[in-house]
Structure 1
Amino acid sequence: MPEEKVSTIEVRELGRVAYGEALNLQTELVNRRRLGEVPDQLLLLEHPHVITVGTSSATDHILLSDEERTGRGIELFEVGRGGDVTYHGPGQLVGYPILSLNPDRKDLHRYLRDLEEVLIGTLAQFGIPAG
């Protein structure tokens, strides 16, 4: 029977962090993870009101005018991730995994499907339907 490999992940509970600050931290940790300076990371935090626009979207998908958005104190970031428009705000837990996907997890879409299944299963254990 092959020996099971155990990986370490460092979980950081950061509280409320501005989106730009969290993005800078993610960039730093991605670079340090690639160099092997830190283990896999999971950042857990919440953001002040913010809307992010992914590369598969456009700002015209936002249902508020710029004036309404700024009047409500909602920041806007166009980001390099895929996907559409996403809102984050106080009270919403956000998890940012920063993981080495090598050698067995190079398929990003497979990784995302696996992550979704884990989250759905975890929520089910708490009686929360998802999926």
Structure 2
Amino acid sequence: MTESEADGAPLEILDLGRRSYEDVYRLQGERLAARIRGAVPDGVFLVEHDPVVTRGRRSAEGDAAAVPFPVVTIERGGEATFHGPGQIVAYPILLLPEGRRDLHRYLRDLEDVVIQALAALGIEGRREKGLTGVWIGDKKVCSIGVAVRRWVTWHGLALNVTTDMDSFRSFAPCGLSADVMTRVMDHFPGGPEGKGPSGDLMAQVKLALGEALQRVFG
């Protein structure tokens, strides 16, 4: 694929299923390098991780000392957060076009993706003034932390769907109380059954997220 073909190609959304953080970190790096070269088009990895805590550039020393999961320090912005089963993580690897090379705007675009996906499920998501991420009421459902290299993005967002919320209790997620965190299933119309009207909630959220990614970045 030529660079001009890559730039003009539609957004690729790649469902990786459940994978370790280390595997997907490596895949991100490979895709990032290829996108910088113009060898591949913009793409997004969707994945469910094995349990892990990642620490971003703003993480304080010792903030994950009591965590019972593997801990990985990475290049993204933000503080410590949990990834694991029941959570959908999206890693957009996109060349930001001229005129949109503003990381604050990109963060707002990622929030828009999640808010649109939640709306498709009948749930009202919102922003919290002065903070990054998406809330449902007074609870945080999605954490966001990104990095950019030569205006190509990597890392991304983590949306709690059926996540075991006790996984957040051994540290301060994004510098907040664990009690602030929530998951989609607890706000789904009809009750916290972990299922939507047509079956598996994880599959429905993944579909809604993919459609929102296409609208915002496609």
Identical counterparts, % of pairs: 45
Number of residue pairs matched by the alignment: 120
Deviation of 1:129 (Å): 2.3
Partner of 2:17: 15
The yes-or-no answer on 1:89 pairing with 2:80 is: no
Following the alignment from structure 2 to structure 1, what is the Cα–Cα distance between the partners of residues 61 and 121? Answer: 36
AA matched with 1:29? R
Deviation of 1:59 (Å): 4.5
Deviation of 1:61 (Å): 2.2
Partner deviation per Cα, 1:91-118 (whole Å, 9 max, x = no partner) = 2111000001021321011111122123
After the TM superposition, which residues 55-74 of structure 1 pair with which residues of structure 2 at under 5 Å, given as runs? 55-62=57-64, 65=66, 69=68, 74=69
Following superposition, which runs of at least 4 residues in structure 1 exceed 4 angstroms of deviation? none
What TM-score, normalized by structure 2, do the two folds share?
Answer: 0.52
The yes-or-no answer on 1:80 pairing with 2:75 is: yes
Question: CA RMSD, aligned part only?
Answer: 1.8
The yes-or-no answer on 1:33 pairing with 2:30 is: no
Unaligned runs of 5+ in 1: 1-5
AA matched with 1:15? G
Unaligned runs of 5+ in 2: 1-7, 127-218
What TM-score, normalized by structure 1, do the two folds share?
Answer: 0.84
| Higher RCO (C-alpha 8 Å, min separation 6) | 1
Deviation of 1:7 (Å): 5.1
Structure 1 residues 46 and 59, CA, compared in 2 at 3 Å: closer, same or farther? Answer: farther
Deviation of 1:130 (Å): 1.6
8 Å CA contact 1:53, 1:59 repeated in 2 = no
AA matched with 1:107? D
